[in-house]
Chains A and B, each alone.
Chain A
């Protein structure tokens, strides 16, 4: 889909008649149908990908078929309505969060203008409260006394294909960033609602390819790019060559090595595409500089977990590789690279789903002796925790001037901020390696704005939607780019590195995107290095 010109979209988001800009829709939201047209939905999952996943033990992706959202008939199974209602009943029994979030909303509207999708599209159904009402209205109809008796009067409505289509549209215009849950007086988390709707849709064979293909790849090859072991190794080794060219020191790299102290897992995108590549080079330089005894794995070569964007079973199955590989290799613990949703899974789900990891040890930094008590059970440490601790104990020789070409600002990635509370470790690191400034206060830390393309929405056919949803983030960057001449947006998320790059190219072309460890590695001074002047750090073309 062609993306509208910057001038057009800049006008449209301000003047377009939308609820965000002041226009009031004349129809009740239940009466406004969704219309699928090129550019406003992500391509649906290919039949063979759904079939492959359905064939995997422990997973269920039934009703694979060829279908097109733009057509009236979605070729749903005969008993689709039963499947959905039974699926909802089952999930109400399994998740207290779902029951509470269905029952407690008072529609106070505090969440309404907190959603980046709402701010960028002005579509009322992108207000978190209304996104939840899409499901809640059906819940009322089938599961509450008031809804059964009073029907529409009580905000209830029957499950119809029209409702199902709404679900598909709006559960894929939510990035599960959880910003709304910060502002909700009852902590209602739209991510939970979106996850449930997506789970229900998968029951009737509705899903998008940009999620299910990476899931299939992760399952089979270990990473979402579908890189086979030798290709993965080749990619990493290219980066080793680059590092050697730039610094004069060839970092020591091993794969699938038994007996290593630490297993390192990062999103595969880091070894595949710019600007993640520079972050991956950063990891190598950092680990080599401190002589870390670690190994990469080709089997568990994906930190990210696209299963989180489908259903909890798939999340579990993909995540299980990490512990399986750690146990097979006999490492002491796992170190995780920079990634947002990956860390939501690791921090909030991994131990519960696939633990206890009794075969691992409580993580201890081999350099500083610091015991990572906060990871005592899961036995997985975030690279920023690890690096901040190194810096605190003076284990790294850093020369901030090597980042003098950079004026950075910090993007708190949604999940590390709102699911882990990882906010000040990266800031501590930044303080030591680069000159940087904060974005405005309502757009950082727990109030940070999503890149607009998380949860598997970073696909090109919905580029206009992504640029709209990313507007609040881009706008805050623009503010510091103009005021403080910021030229680099740093983050700890692989999806961010990919999607913010497109977003910056569109809204703020003078700003580049990087991972935190790239900036760290830029600043690292090593003995025996043969490093020419690198005016653009690791990005310098020699």
Chain B
């Protein structure tokens, strides 16, 4: 039911934007006020969350080493998996953030009669995640065309490569398909893989459905509902938003407002949700710390003053036995008093 709820929520959002944007005067709300508000919530929320994390110190060096650490000269260090220098940490983080290194390691375990447990490489999640994230990234980059005037050359290159197959008119972008497929695959995986289905929350389905709806509305606008859309008007509005002089010229179709509204919801939802993994992945101590803790002391700012049970106390308790058994002591036994 959690996934059904996500659909209902997104349908409701679509209806709000669709109907809302038809009310006279409201386009300004959906086209200007909400985007500004959403962006403020996004930026403010994102920064707040990252600062909130950063306020807590990292008391201990808890790197997870996924390969041989640096030790003796003749033992080959795995510099990417057990980094010892800042450069090596940067390289490890690069692989993690850009290539999803840890997901690439994924295996699938099965228990067979015997018992006999098998582990098979399982790259599906890695593939789905790559498709989803990179499609999203490229689409965001392509959208810069709408906000920048003149359009930077690199945006053109991205569009050129993205549309390389030149299928359809206007040319279909690979990433449009990629984002839809990515959402569908990640969503389907949540339903089909039993572990994942069991742990999934509304918070897991909702963003996927929302992003799927954003992609659908975008695709409808670009490929199918072009007559409703005056791209010149839109660009005038979007460039206006960036230059803080937004103007809504002639009427823009509802599909545009739906698209923009869903994006606003996503932006506003972002800082309060698991989507903050985008920031958190940079700050995870098991990945971004050096494995040099015996060579360089890591400092804990709140290190409490705690002393061990003292040697003196220990010897006081056991001195007699120690002396009797020839274990060296700091203080000799007091001279024995004569019993009689």
Contacts and interface: CB of A to CB of B under 8 A. Distances in A.
Interface stretch (B103-111, B169-177, B221-229): B103-111
B304 A58 contact: yes
Contacts of B153: none
B68 A324 contact: no
A24 B5 CA distance: 21
Q: Which of A188, A421, A428, A443 has the most CB of B within 10 A?
A: A421
A397 B57 CA distance: 49
A316 interface: yes
Q: How large is the interface on B (under 10, 10 to 19, 20 to 34, 35 or more residues)?
A: 35 or more
B328 A110 contact: no
Interface in B93-134: 96, 100, 102-103, 105-109, 111-117, 119, 125, 129
B204 A106 contact: yes
B321 A228 contact: yes
Nearest to A375: B294
A476 B114 CA distance: 12
Contact of A313 (B63, B292, B295, B304): B304
B76 A424 contact: yes
A352 B298 contact: yes
B298 to A, nearest CB: 5
Given A10-B115, A352-B298, A94 B105 contact: no
A114 B122 CA distance: 12
B75 A425 contact: yes
A430 interface: no
A433 interface: no
Interface stretch (B19-27, B144-152, B234-242, B280-288): B280-288
A366 to B, nearest CB: 16
B280 A103 contact: yes
Given A155-B203, A184-B102, A229-B325, A420 B65 contact: yes
Contacts of A96: 53-54, 56-58, 283, 285
A44 interface: no
Contact of A352 (B72, B100, B299, B321): B299
Interface stretch (A12-20, A78-86, A266-274, A497-505): A12-20
B285 A112 contact: no
Contacts of B63: 348, 419
A124 B71 CA distance: 39
Interface stretch (B212-220, B246-254, B255-263, B306-314): B306-314
Contacts of B114: 10, 14, 475
Contact residues of B: prevailing secondary structure? loop
Nearest to B9: A153
A317 B287 contact: no
A417 B65 contact: yes
A535 interface: no
B66 interface: yes
A349 B65 contact: no
A447 to B, nearest CB: 8
Contacts, number: 338
Contacts of B280: 100, 103-104, 186
B86 interface: no
Nearest to A386: B72
A391 B112 CA distance: 42
Interface string A171-185: 000000010011111
B57 A316 contact: no
Interface string B33-57: 0000000000000000100111111
Contacts of A107: 196, 199-201, 204, 274
B204 A95 contact: no
B64 interface: yes
Contacts of A419: 62-65
B142 interface: no
Given A20-B111, A119-B117, A352-B303, A222 B277 contact: no
Contact of B272 (A146, A257, A312, A440): A146
A155 B201 contact: yes
B202 A153 contact: yes
A309 interface: no
Contacts of A258: 328
Contacts of B140: none
Nearest to B100: A185
A421 B78 contact: yes
Nearest to B324: A230
Given A104-B277, A108-B125, A440-B119, A94 B311 contact: no
A262 B274 CA distance: 50
Contact of A99 (B56, B70, B78, B294): B56
B267 to A, nearest CB: 15
B273 to A, nearest CB: 7
B75 A428 contact: yes
Contact residues of A: prevailing secondary structure? helix
B75 to A, nearest CB: 5
Interface string A133-149: 10000000000111000
B112 A324 contact: no
Contact of A442 (B119, B199, B272, B287): B119
A352 B49 CA distance: 27
Contact of A380 (B81, B294, B302): B294
A127 B62 contact: no
Interface in A25-44: 25, 29
B245 interface: no
B296 interface: yes
Nearest to A108: B125
Contacts of B204: 106-107
A129 B72 CA distance: 36
A114 B102 CA distance: 13
A100 B294 contact: no
B308 A317 contact: yes
A236 B196 CA distance: 52
Nearest to B57: A96
A98 B56 CA distance: 9
Q: Which of A104, A319, A328, A475 has the most CB of B within 10 A?
A: A104
A332 to B, nearest CB: 16
Nearest to A23: B194
B283 to A, nearest CB: 6
B66 A104 contact: no
Interface in A141-163: 144-146, 153-155
A518 interface: no
A476 B119 CA distance: 11
B188 interface: no
B195 A353 contact: no
A113 interface: yes
Contacts of B96: 185, 187
B229 to A, nearest CB: 34
Given A182-B102, A351-B293, A187 B286 contact: yes
Nearest to B278: A104
Contact of A321 (B103, B200, B308): B308
Given A181-B64, A320-B308, A348-B62, A186 B281 contact: yes
Given A352-B293, A417-B65, A421-B77, 20 more contacts: A13-B115, A24-B194, A104-B274, A104-B280, A108-B129, A109-B195, A153-B202, A154-B201, A183-B102, A187-B285, A220-B309, A234-B325, A298-B327, A351-B294, A355-B297, A388-B72, A389-B72, A420-B65, A446-B66, A475-B117
- Nearest 4 pairs between A and B by C-beta? A421-B69, A58-B306, A421-B65, A104-B280
